[in-house]
């Protein structure tokens, strides 16, 4: 796509919408490989690769939501095609998807036709207490609570050393994030949440309704913060239906 910020794990369809996916804290673009493969040729799935991980591991990670959203809005505006697109953000990625969409709307630039906001409560004027982690030990405890990293990473000092810079930066970013008041987005939302998420309640997720001037749909799945790992097909079906593409191959 001519940008260091996006990764595509399949062949782009000739037509149809694009789904731009924003990973969770400590996550990388490859987190969306299963969703990309499940959607197949129905949707052009493109995942954001934040600095400081995988093939961008030599770049310093960005520890500020506003700076990340500013840059991602620039990158989206620079795309040279007119394909309609939507955003899918999970956890920290939901905040970034929302803030990037705000910036595109403020610039009167083409924006997403829908926001899929997953595993995250609606923004607030003060940072969430769940995001207030001050030390590496607190970061690792938070990750264990969410269940998002295999135990092998915690037991391997070399692997842990590789992932900690990105984790520290992401938790600094989301831990300092506070919503700046503004008008609701003129974009429909689809909010997705696990019914056993340890840090986000269904009620907190439903509060996203106040941030859209259009319709907001709430979908609750069985599971925890990373419910998507066990419901990839159901989420892919939901995305395809919301974007108005043909039914997926069984």
Catalytic hit among 36, 91, 128, 212: 91
As a whole number of angstroms, the distance between CA 48 and CA 38 comes to: 18
The region that residue 114 occupies, defined by phi over 0 for left and psi between -120 and 50 for alpha, beta otherwise, is: beta
Q: Residue 184 belongs to what H/E stretch?
A: none
Q: Which long-range contacts (CB under 8 A, 24 or more apart) does 148-154 make?
A: 148/24, 148/26, 148/27, 148/225, 148/226, 149/26
Q: Is the Cβ–Cβ distance between 191 and 216 less than 8 Å?
A: yes
Which residues lie below 8 Å from residue 39, measured CB to CB, with a gap of 6+? 19, 45, 236, 239, 240, 248
| Residues linked to residue 16 through DSSP beta bridges, in sequence order | none
Q: Is the Cβ–Cβ distance between 75 and 47 less than 8 Å?
A: no
3 is a catalytic site residue: no
In sequence order, what DSSP letters do the residues of 26-93 get, joined into one string? T--GGGGHHHHHHHGGGSEEEEE--TTSGGGTTSPPP--HHHHHHHHHHHHHH--S---EEEEEETHH
Q: Report the catalytic residues.
A: 91
């Amino acid at each position: 796509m001519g940008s260091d910020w996006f990764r595509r794990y399949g062949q782009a369809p000739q037509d149809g919408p694009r789904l731009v996916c924003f990973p969770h804290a400590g996550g990388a673009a490859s987190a969306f490989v299963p969703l990309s493969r499940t959607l197949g040729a129905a949707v052009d799935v493109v995942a954001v690769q934040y600095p400081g991980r995988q093939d961008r591991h030599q770049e310093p990670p960005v520890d500020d939501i506003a700076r990340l959203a500013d840059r991602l809005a620039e990158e989206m505006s620079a795309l040279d095609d007119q394909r309609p697109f939507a955003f899918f953000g999970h956890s920290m990625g939901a905040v970034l998807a929302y803030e990037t969409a705000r910036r595109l709307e403020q610039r009167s630039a083409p924006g997403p036709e829908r926001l899929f906001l997953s595993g995250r409560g609606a923004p607030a004027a003060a940072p969430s207490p769940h995001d207030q982690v001050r030390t590496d030990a607190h970061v690792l405890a938070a990750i264990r609570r969410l269940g998002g990293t295999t135990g092998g990473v915690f037991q391997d000092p070399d692997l842990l050393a590789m992932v900690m810079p990105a984790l520290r930066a992401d938790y600094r970013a989301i831990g300092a994030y506070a919503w700046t008041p503004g008008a609701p987005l003129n974009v429909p939302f689809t909010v997705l949440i696990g019914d056993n998420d340890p840090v986000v309640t269904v009620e907190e997720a439903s509060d996203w309704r106040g941030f859209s001037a259009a319709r907001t749909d709430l979908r609750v799945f069985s599971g925890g913060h990373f419910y998507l790992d066990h419901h990839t097909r159901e989420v892919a079906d939901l995305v395809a239906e919301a974007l108005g593409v043909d039914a997926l191959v069984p």
